[in-house]
Structure 1
Amino acid sequence: MLSSGVLVWLLLLWESSAQRVLQSPASAMAPPGDNAIFHCSMAPGFSMSSYTMAWYRQAHHGAPVEFLIKEYEKPTEKFHIVLTTEKNTFSLHLSDLKHQDSSIYYCHSYCASREQAYFGAGTKLTVLGKFNKFNQKNPDILVLDFRILRAFYCNKRVTLVCLAEDFYPDHIDLAWYIDDKEESTGVAKDDSAKLNTDSNTYSISSRLSIPFKKWNQGNTYKCKVTFHYPKEKSNDGKWTTESSTRWESLTAPKRKSLHFFTFHRW
């Protein structure tokens, strides 16, 4: 395992090089006992023959980063790799999935002569619990319960909080919109979803901080929640996923008070 200092180095490299190492899929779900394959390639203009390729994983945000396997190493009971330099591809194969295999998997390339290392954006794997609840006709998907909690006023700024809770599995995206235009400035999301061990479901929140003057313009603020869940198993043995999207919106007042605003649920 890598130290926390090396973890920071890894994440910084990923930020600056996500375009060079490409990974697919971005996320995957499977029941225990199944197998999984993650693909990695180099962006156009780069060749794997010039790099040493490897795979790492991180159980969750802030956890140590674990080295798994690198090119030309012998396969283990859990991992084996397929490197095809002429096609510029490097795949990781996982067998007999366990719940502890749920992690984010990173493809890594390293050039010793230039002392350069690059990481892909990662593939998030969830090994599903109680998978017998899911079936092709009627998957037992826990309904999202989310809402914009309230508006907080501090230091001449207003902070909106959007909460999504009681969902499983942990594959969810939150985004903010102001009058139908996506907003990224002033947005902060929880590093990872929080597990409720009693219900085996998750919750996560996202916050939008804006200047008070902007808030008082009567704009409509929307939180978009997109939930991804397993649908069915295809002929090739892979589980396909579907997505459902819901919105929560709040209309700001054209006044100085924070006590008057309107909720809308779609």
Structure 2
Amino acid sequence: MIVIFCIICHLMFVSGSSLSDQVHQTPSEKFCKTGDKPQISCRHEIQDYTRIFWYKQSTDHQMQLLGYMNVNDGYPETGANVKINGGATKGETCSLTIEGVNTSSSGVYFCAASRTGSREAYFGQGTKLTVLDPDAEVQPPTVKILEPSKKECKDKKGKKKKTLVCVASDFYPDHVSVSWTRNGQNITDDIQVSTDAAATAKKDGKNYKITSRLMVPIKDWVEPNINFTCTVSFFNGKSNIKKNTTYTTKGIDYPVITRESYIKITQNAKISYTVLILKSCLYAALVCFLVWKLQRKRGKQTK
């Protein structure tokens, strides 16, 4: 058990290694109902690695060791309610069967390949498992893009920009991902794109919502006919379907001034100027009157 504990502790430090590319886990996403026995498979192509560990990451990101396979022998953890079958050597397939499924079984399941006596272990890509609510139906999202506020003009660093907000709503379950394109080209800049870390459930718990924000540089915003497309990929239990919507920039709109509007503007300007002159004259007359009155008062005091 000490070796197992050390391996699990070390997982977080080696999951980014290139050897993780040789650990293959399927499927990446899966739905099931209460009482089902979903199965997840894992195999690796790493020489001399003869152990495969299984664990679950719950929605609060806690890690639970479910058990492991050593060569051809499975060792599930007590109370984990799983079966581990197959083989753990190079090229063999190890399967995890989850029994007694209920809503608490939802989470992300990972396999990790390891070598006997070593503390290194390499992650698979993970399988997101959702136990469906019997009262909810699988449904794809509705997607829309919200225009930026007219008052928005600069980001926190003082750079001019506008922000488009993509909202995907009313979908179930929460198996979605969001991406953006500019005229068909993928936008991968993390500074330009900010997406919610996870979809959030509405009050009824049967529908989800997720938002993604795209910071559009002002140089693109002032150009017309640039297409920014938000694409939401939704797993419906069988395949990923895509829902998208596009916002097209309008560019800078210069107002057209007609002869009538020009005459009206100049007339208003003349009236405003005349009123200003009259006010100035009245003010000057008042000052002159006060000065004359003050001088007269001083003259009487002198006599």
What does 1:29-178 correspond to in 2, within 5 Å? 29-43=31-45, 46-47=46-47, 49-60=48-59, 63-71=61-69, 72-74=74-76, 78-84=81-87, 85=89, 87-111=91-115, 115-130=119-134, 140-142=137-139, 144-151=141-148, 153=153, 154=155, 155-156=158-159, 157-178=161-182
Q: What is the aligned counterpart of 2:231 among 207, 224, 229?
A: 224
Q: Which amino acid aligns with 1:14?
A: S
| Structure 1 partner of 2:14 | 13
For structure 1, the residue ranges without an aligned partner over 5 or more in a row are: 1-5, 134-139, 231-240, 258-266
Q: How far did 1:50 drift?
A: 2.1
SS at match of 1:73: strand
Q: How far did 1:255 drift?
A: 2.9
Q: Which amino acid aligns with 1:69?
A: G
Q: How far did 1:220 drift?
A: 0.7
| Structure 1 partner of 2:279 | none
Residues 169-225 of structure 1: CA distance to partner in whole angstroms, max 9, x if unpaired? 111221111101222113232221111232521111122234322333331100012
Distance between the aligned counterparts of 1:150 and 1:10, measured in 2?
43
Confirm or deny that 1:205 pairs with 2:203: no
Q: How far did 1:160 drift?
A: 2.2
SS at match of 1:213: helix
Which structure's residues are more often helix, by fraction?
Answer: 2
Which structure's residues are more often strand, by fraction?
Answer: 1
Distance between the aligned counterparts of 1:213 and 1:141, measured in 2?
41
Q: What is the percent sequence identity of the aligned residues?
A: 28
Aligned-residue Cα RMSD (Å) equals 2.9
| Contact 1:7-1:65 at 8 Å conserved across structures | no
Q: How far did 1:126 drift?
A: 0.6
Query: Which 4+ stretches in 1 moved above 4 angstroms?
Result: 6-12, 74-77
| Contact 2:10-2:119 at 8 Å conserved across structures | no
Q: How far did 1:11 drift?
A: 5.0
| Contact 2:132-2:173 at 8 Å conserved across structures | yes
| Contact 2:30-2:129 at 8 Å conserved across structures | yes
Confirm or deny that 1:183 pairs with 2:190: no
| Contact 2:166-2:211 at 8 Å conserved across structures | yes
Q: How far did 1:56 drift?
A: 1.2
Q: How far did 1:9 drift?
A: 6.9
Q: How far did 1:69 drift?
A: 0.9
- Structure having the higher Rg: 2
| C-alpha distance 73-247 of structure 1, shift in aligned 2 (>3 A) | same
Single out whichever of 165-174 and 144-153 deviates more from structure 2: 144-153
Q: How far did 1:39 drift?
A: 0.7
Distance between the aligned counterparts of 1:198 and 1:222, measured in 2?
30
Q: What is the aligned counterpart of 2:252 among 251, 255, 259?
A: 255
SS at match of 1:251: strand
TM-score (norm 1): 0.75
SS at match of 1:19: helix
| Contact 1:75-1:81 at 8 Å conserved across structures | no
SS at match of 2:170: strand
Distance between the aligned counterparts of 1:34 and 1:221, measured in 2?
42
| Contact 1:176-1:221 at 8 Å conserved across structures | yes
